[in-house]
Amino acid sequence: MTQPSDFPLHRYSFRAMGSPCELQLCMDERQALPLAGRARAEIARLEQRYSRYREDSLLSRINRVAASGGRIEVDAETASLLDYANQCHQESDGLFDISSGLLRRAWRFDTAELPSQESIAPLLARVGWGKIRWASPVLEIPAGMELDLGGIVKEYAADRVATLLTEAGCPSAMVNLGGDIRVTAPRPDGSAWQIGIRDPRGGNDRSIGAVLLHRGAVATSGDYERCMVINGIRYGHILDPRTGWPVQHLASVTVVADFCVLAGSASTIAVLRGAQGPEWLEQLQLLHRWVDLDGREGGTLCAPGT
């Protein structure tokens, strides 16, 4: 009988959801290539449905209703994402808010110029998941608001693809969607996948350690992907929905969980919670590692080779 260890790993690199992505599949190449195509098609499907940049996306249709205020009925998949967003909003005491994407209109990270409070204030008045009525499957949104599922969909896509690969008979795979990673099983030889934790101040090629993962997910949130430094202060893209300004204190948070959507939302909520983020993660009992703005590190993943 053919064993998983008899198959080499096949790598497929591509771009999706605005990020570099990679699939690593352990199976016969004649099966791996079409399966990788199915996986990419699933990612493309989700991007088409939930991209805020596509006029023909479902999310854009929702936001067109929201522009003038109104109600819209959504399908079961979208309802499950909204349910999860609502759960994250509650767990974060309102900090994880899918209506806060409006604030990006004030923040242009390619200009190296801070927005004025006058430009932020009117946007803040239109932010607040609590203002939206969500009673599945009907979403009722006040006029002028907007939803952004960018903090959930990429991680959800990684989980969806991992399930697709497993159900199609792939013995072992790693899904990497822009650093949101899901592993379905150990590597072909039974060993763990080694996933580096990026140094938030060291550039793309430097890490501060690695996670050894047999199955499950790893995600990192931080202030280094989209940011600007003005007068020695770094302003990242994760914005506090209460103030409209970038959160401070933590430079990056890496979380390990069973599912990528959980790892991603937990890392983002921890960053949003600032100084209270590490304690919150401890209470969740999720493996994690954090780095603050002063370079201090902590968390349960700090031991070498964890």
* Confidence bin at 305 (pLDDT 50/70/90): very low
Q: pLDDT of 46-85, one tens digit each?
A: 999 999 999 999 999 999 999 999 999 999 999 999 999 9
Per-residue pLDDT for 203 more than 90?
no
Kindly indicate whether the domain formed by 58-141 is annotated with CATH number 1.10.3980.10.
yes
pLDDT at 206 over 80: no
More confident residue, 46 or 204: 46
pLDDT tens digit string along 219-273?
Answer: 999 887 778 888 888 899 999 999 999 999 999 999 999 999 999 999 999 999 9
Q: Mean of the pLDDT values across residues 10-31?
A: 96
Do 257 and 216 contact (CB within 8 A), yes or no? Answer: yes
pLDDT of residue 6: 57
Q: Is it the case that residue 5 has pLDDT exceeding 70?
A: no
- What's residue 7's pLDDT? 67
Nearest to residue 268, comparing CAs of 285, 290, 283, 295?
290
3-state secondary structure of 136: coil
- The domains of the chain are located at 4-46+152-298, 58-141
C-alpha dihedral (240, 242, 248, 249), degrees to nearest 10: -110
Mean pLDDT of the chain: 93
The CATH number for 4-46+152-298, chosen from 3.40.50.80, 3.10.520.10, 3.40.50.2300, 3.40.50.2000, is: 3.10.520.10
Exposure b/e, 157-178, CB count within 10 A at least 16 = b:
bbbbbbebbeeeebbbbbbbbb
β partners of residue 226: none
Q: Is the pLDDT of residue 2 over 80?
A: no
The larger pLDDT score, comparing residue 303 to residue 228, is at 228
Q: Which two tokens stand for residue 19?
A: 């990020």
Q: How confident is the model at residue 123 (pLDDT cuts 50, 70, 90)?
A: very high
Contact (Cβ atoms closer than 8 angstroms) between residue 104 and residue 117: no
Task: Work out the pLDDT band at 108, boundaries 50, 70, 90.
Answer: confident
Q: Do domains 4-46+152-298 and 58-141 have the same CATH topology?
A: no
Global confidence as pTM: 0.93
pLDDT of residue 304: 46
